[in-house]
Structure 1
Amino acid sequence: MNTNTAYVHGYSSQETRRLGDQADTLATLLHAGTAYPVGSRVLEVGCGVGAQTVHLVRNSPGARIVAVDRSEESLAQARAHLATQEPGAEVTWRTADLFHLPFPARSFDHVFACFVLEHLPAPGRALAALRRVLRPGGTLTVIEGDHGSVLFHPDSHRAHEVIGHQVRLQAAAGGNALLGRQLQPLLRGAGFGDVVIRPRTVYADRTRPSMVEGFTRKTFIAMVESVRDDALGAGLTTAADWDRGIADLRLTADGDGTFHYTFFKAVAVNPGP
């Protein structure tokens, strides 16, 4: 992640697995329509452990992809992950901060950022930094979630409370778990044109067992569960209330439970000076 603020979900092996489960489960939903021409220069920022990089490579095998993250440890995991999933694929890995990218202006034809802006204290300034390295006429693709879009059955105030604790912790770390709804004005404010926002909705119930397992359980609930100690440490809740809320949230992945979440995918063009 390219920011000096804390990554609210942490850097554990469990989080690495969660990111992989999320990327694989949502690959068709989120990457549909994203394919770059052979020879085009593509920058992926905040590549983390390479969960999304694998799908970029699969969809655009002839593109020249440069993947950037500020964490050398994450980049090492990303290299190993790509080598396992796509042997022989060529990606250039660079350690750098998003706000200080080591590339000349107009270096790339396309830029891709997935689940990055939500962890930054200044997403508008980050978009300006990305626009600097994007050639005129080049495209920026941004994907973000929005925890305010969560709907589920059986409904539970206690389950919504534990989700709210994760939202508050992310805000305290300088991020915004409700960023998806803001993409259009953020991109326009950063000077991008031809901004198109396409909501990508996840819906899971017992008729979609792979989505229940891959998204409801292994992605969303696992993400909320990961902040338990921080929520207790910050005095946001008690252990008993947290455990009751998580138990209610898990019911959405059992029996007749249902779960809904909306991601927002934006594609915008750098109009140039």
Structure 2
Amino acid sequence: MDTTYVHGYTAPEARRLGDQADTLAELLHAGTAYPAGSRVLEVGCGVGAQTVHLAARSPDAHLTAVDVSEESLAEARRRVPGVDFRQADLFDLDGEYDHLFVCFVLEHLPAPEKALAHLKTLLRPGGTITVIEGDHGSAFFHPRSEHAQAAIDCLVRLQAEAGGDGLIGRRLYPLLDQAGFGDVVVAPRTVYADASRPDLVTGFTRDTFTAMVEGVGETAVARGLADAGDWARGIRDLHRTTREYGTFHYTFFKGTAQRIPGGAS
């Protein structure tokens, strides 16, 4: 699988992923629990940030989690004991599972439709897939800032240059449907943060979203996508949304679908 993780594999990025997963656990994982004895595959588990919550909500399921990065898997094994972690490329996966869970993976792939088509072959007839993706185009905030918006746009552009799509959330329904899944349902999971919700201000606006944008600053400036001064102002303005009377909005999209019994593989 030819893909580049635009955010890198640094210790701060591992912390950011953990902050994101913990802050948004109820928002993203509500409605997702698997029966005892079911075979569940998490694709692209990274450092295990989402695996923690999968395992907690489905303690009696047989959970296998895979990722291409052995470094990330080492952290995942430390974070979530008792899960069967394996190093594997998505397109090399085989076997049969009752349920698949794919979170923040498709956005990094140059051909997400091919990835979904392959993943469908891993599901037993009647098995389900759950896919969660963000959409950086859904970010809006107060106070409004053209410099902050430009910084976000740089992240989207860098992800596109790496073969991914930072706006993929809005594409989940057609991607799942075109891959041949049935019973496709996609719904928004919206984060809204202001001073009345300090945990979200800290855990999401500052430590997840702003940290994610800030993390690509050196690359954006080095590639000439942003002037150093303008970039610094954009990041300052994003941080300004975490202060008194600042507000921040972002939408994730969660899709569920099924491999229809008797359907094409």
| C-alpha deviation, 1:198, in angstroms | 1.2
In structure 2, what is the equivalent of residue 71 of structure 1?
Answer: 69
- Is 1:58 the equivalent of 2:47? no
Q: Residue by residue, what CA displacement relative to the aligned partner does 1:5-24 show, whole Å, maximum 9, x if unpaired?
A: 21100111000000000000
Q: 1:198 aligns with which of 169, 187, 192?
A: 187
Q: Structure 2 CA distance, aligned partners of 1:248 and 1:66?
A: 41
- For 2:176, the aligned partner's letter is L
The aligned runs of 1:60-99 (5 Å cut-off) are: 60-83=58-81, 90-99=82-91
| C-alpha deviation, 1:33, in angstroms | 0.2
SS in 2 for 1:76: helix
SS in 1 for 2:188: strand
Pairwise CA RMSD of aligned residues? Answer: 0.7
- Is 1:145 the equivalent of 2:134? yes
Using the size of structure 1 for normalisation, the TM-score is 0.95
- For 1:57, the aligned partner's letter is A
Gaps of 5+ in 2: none
The aligned runs of 1:151-170 (5 Å cut-off) are: 151-170=140-159
SS in 2 for 1:144: strand
- Is 1:173 the equivalent of 2:162? yes
In structure 2, what is the equivalent of residue 21 of structure 1?
Answer: 19
| C-alpha deviation, 1:252, in angstroms | 0.6
Q: Structure 2 CA distance, aligned partners of 1:45 and 1:226?
A: 24
Identity %: 65
Aligned length: 262
| C-alpha deviation, 1:249, in angstroms | 1.1
| C-alpha deviation, 1:151, in angstroms | 1.1
Q: Structure 2 CA distance, aligned partners of 1:263 and 1:5?
A: 22
Regions of 4+ moved over 6 Å: none
Using the size of structure 2 for normalisation, the TM-score is 0.98
| C-alpha deviation, 1:99, in angstroms | 1.3
Q: Residue by residue, what CA displacement relative to the aligned partner does 1:29-71 show, whole Å, maximum 9, x if unpaired?
A: 0000000000000000000000000000000000000000011
SS in 2 for 1:236: coil
- Is 1:124 the equivalent of 2:113? yes
In structure 1, what is the equivalent of residue 92 of structure 2?
Answer: 100
- For 2:199, the aligned partner's letter is S
- Is 1:187 the equivalent of 2:176? yes
